[in-house]
């Protein structure tokens, strides 16, 4: 028998269910304060590094939208889970190397981290080859941090033109990860403004520590890990 017969530790299941309910409540409150419809805000449950039983517990609550930041790690566990839960949607929220594009297009339903022409060209070629067309978001390096992925705000126009117009990628929106030591609100406001100006609907921003701020500034996707699953074990 497959591992779908595995029973969940009831205490763990209850704890994760409580966390999901609490985060949903906070999303609803932040949306209400901003005069926004809470159903317009998607919750990407970031499961990177989390033990499998916590993911099982999240699935048991009915949650179906997840995010992973490494192709390799996601490929190790999500194909089996997707077989059992065909309505799962999986977002790639970490950097994508061109040599992983084939696997990424096969597994993910959205790639939130398109950030350079070479990657865009590889994605377009693989989508044409495979017929799979995961949604694409362009990652913007709003803080212009040299070590961080993402296109600089003043390079967005050119990259978007390449992705959307020249390559025909299904670009739906923008994503950012603000600098750790700055007020995220300014970065969220900038990303929302760039998306509006570009005619893009999806705005992916906000994590456990700041998703309410992100919602006030127009996030349509928040990416939340530790507030849902608890602390992550360190990367081995």
Ligand X SMILES: *Cc1c(COP(=O)(O)O)cnc(C)c1O
Of residues 123 and 176, the one with the C-beta less far from ligand X:
176
For residue 96, give the 3-state DSSP assignment.
Answer: coil
| Site for ligand X, residues 94 to 113, rule: CB under 6 A | 94
Question: What is the C-alpha to C-alpha distance for residues 207 and 222, in angstroms, rounded to an integer?
Answer: 6
Name the one range near ligand X by CB under 6 A: 19-27, 55-63, 127-135, 206-214: 206-214
Name the one range near ligand X by CB under 6 A: 77-85, 142-150, 187-195, 219-227: 219-227
46 in contact with ligand X (CB under 6 A): yes
Question: What is the C-alpha to C-alpha distance for residues 158 and 161, in angstroms, rounded to an integer?
Answer: 5
90 in contact with ligand X (CB under 6 A): no
Size of the site for ligand X (CB under 6 A): 14
3-state helix, strand, coil in the chain (%, to 5): 50, 15, 35
CB atoms within 10 A of CB 115: 24
Of residues 19 and 101, the one with the C-beta less far from ligand X:
19
Q: Which of 93, 110, 163, 176 binds ligand X (CB under 6 A)?
A: 93
For residue 51, give the 3-state DSSP assignment.
Answer: coil
198 in contact with ligand X (CB under 6 A): no
Residues in the chain: 236
């Amino acid at each position: 028998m497959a591992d779908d017969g595995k029973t969940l530790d009831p205490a763990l299941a209850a704890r994760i269910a409580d966390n999901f309910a609490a985060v949903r409540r906070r999303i609803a409150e932040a949306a209400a304060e901003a005069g926004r419809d809470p159903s317009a805000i998607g919750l990407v449950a970031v499961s990177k590094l989390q033990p499998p039983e916590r993911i099982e517990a999240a699935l048991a609550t009915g949650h179906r939208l997840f995010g992973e930041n490494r192709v390799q790690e996601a490929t190790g566990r999500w194909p089996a889970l997707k077989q059992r839960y065909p309505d799962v949607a999986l977002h790639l929220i970490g950097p994508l190397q061109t040599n992983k594009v084939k696997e990424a297009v096969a597994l993910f339903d959205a790639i939130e981290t398109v950030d350079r022409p070479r990657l865009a060209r590889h994605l377009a070629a693989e989508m044409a080859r495979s017929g799979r067309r995961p949604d694409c978001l362009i990652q913007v390096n709003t803080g212009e941090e040299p070590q961080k992925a993402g296109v600089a705000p003043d390079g967005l126009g050119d990259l978007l033109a390449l992705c959307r117009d020249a390559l025909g990628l299904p670009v739906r929106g923008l994503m950012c990860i603000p600098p750790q030591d700055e007020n995220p609100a300014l970065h969220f406001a900038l990303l929302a403004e760039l998306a509006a100006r570009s005619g893009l609907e999806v705005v992916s921003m906000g994590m456990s520590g700041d998703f309410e701020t992100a919602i006030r500034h127009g996030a349509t996707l928040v990416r939340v890990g530790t507030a849902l699953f608890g602390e992550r074990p360190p990367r081995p």
